[in-house]
Amino acid sequence: MADTPLLEVKNASKAFGAVQALYKVDFEVLPGEVMALVGDNGAGKSTLIKGIAGIYPFDQGEVLVEGETVHIHGPRDAARLGIEIVYQDLSLADNLDVVANMFLGRERLLGGVVLDESSMERSAGETLESLSVTTLKSVRQAVAGLSGGQRQSVAVAKAVMWNSRVVILDEPTAALGVAQTRQVLNLVRTLAEKGLAVVIVTHNLHDVFEVAERITVLRLGQRVAQFEREKTTQQEVVHAITAGKLDHVPGMEAGAPAAVAEAEAEAGAEVEA
């Protein structure tokens, strides 16, 4: 594993009105690594990945890709830098087939006009095969007819198709059964083995301990802990999620107990967008 993080976020803060959704958060992921991002509802997980994606840019802080500062102002910038985000089941159009979904918005054309279906179909098939996604009957099948795990696999394959280097998966197993979850977690491992940096955002600690090398815990908009899987236990992570020590209190660096409680109450009101 290389030592320069593929993606690094330094000192990121973001406020929505009076609510401090993120406060001085550091986050990083190395190439070939699966980093889990965990935390309770309202901990700031979504805010962090949306900031990386450029959907809500951070108020403060910087994002570095391979050690260089970058400016991301929207999903297209993120894609250009090789950062792809797979949202919970929201990135597929049911009525289109697998190929059409994987190339949606980036269709290949013949002569600048006609869709180059055979070239797209081949690349889609190759990408799926390279990810060992072998349960699809046909890449010309409409996504509506796929199982939850297959859908998630297609969404991931769609993301990695574009020479992406960082793949962020938002709750990839939230709605899946046991076999389907297995399938997606295998896929996550495959991505990391290919040298990609993988971030998996989840509530499910079982999944975390199955695939992740490291675990970042957010609580009330701050990073309260970072663990290596080998050297920690589920209890320890759960404790950090529910009662991790907050280093900073927005607007009051001293961190008096009363101010902490107040900040907690305030940050707890955050709604995960």
Partner 1 sequence: MSSDPTAAPIGPVPGGARVDERHESATLPGYVRLWWQGVKAGELGTLPIIFGLVLIVLTFSILDDKFLTERNFTNLLLQMAAVATIAIGVVFVLLIGEIDLSVAFVSAVGAVVMTLLLRPDDPGWPWWAAVGVALLVTTTIGLAQALVITKAGVPSFVVTLAGLLIWSGVVLILTTQYSTAGTIRIQDDRVVGIANDFLPEFWGWVLAIVVVVAYAAIQLRTAIARRSRGLAGKPTVLIVLQTLGLALVTLAAVWYLNQDRGVPQVIVILGVFLLFWSFIASRTRFGRHVYAVGGSAEAARRAGIDVDRVRIAVFMISGFMAGAGGIMLASRLRSVATNTGGGNLLLLVIAAAVIGGTSLFGGVGRVIAALLGALVIASIQNGMDLMGLASGTKFVITGLVLLGAVLIDAFAKRRRAARGGV
Q: Does 195 bind partner 1 (CB under 8 A)?
A: no
Q: Is 186 in the site for partner 1 (CB under 8 A)?
A: yes
Return the HEC string of 77-102: HHHHCCEEEECCCCCCCCCCEHHHHH
Q: What is the DSSP letter of 272?
A: P
Q: Which of 41, 76, 195, 265 binds partner 1 (CB under 8 A)?
A: 76
Residue window 202-231: x/- pattern of binding to partner 1, with contact defined by CB under 8 A: -------xxx--------------------
Binding-site residue total for partner 1 (CB under 8 A)?
57
Q: Binding mask 107-136 vs partner 1 (x if CB under 8 A, - otherwise)? A: x-x---xxx--xx-xx--x------x-xxx
Among 13, 47, 173, 183, indicate the residue that binds partner 1 (CB under 8 A): 183
DSSP string, 108-170: -EETTTEE-HHHHHHHHHHHHHHTT----S-TTSBGGGS-HHHHHHHHHHHHHTT--SEEEEE
Which residues from 133-162 bind partner 1, rule CB under 8 A? 134-140, 142-149
Q: Are 268 and 20 in contact (CB under 8 A)?
A: no
Query: What CA–CA distance (Å, rounded) separates 58 from 119?
Result: 39
Structure tokens at 257: 């107990």
Cβ atoms of 30 and 197 within 8 Å: the answer is yes
75 near partner 1, rule: CB under 8 A: yes
Question: For residues 50 and 56, is the Cβ–Cβ distance under 8 A?
Answer: yes
> Using CB under 8 A, which of the segments 1-9, 64-72, 164-172, 176-184 binds partner 1?
176-184
**Interface ranges with partner 1 (CB under 8 A):** 75-76, 79, 87, 90-96, 100-101, 104-107, 109, 113-115, 118-119, 121-122, 125, 132, 134-140, 142-149, 175-177, 179-180, 182-183, 185-186, 189-190, 193, 209-211
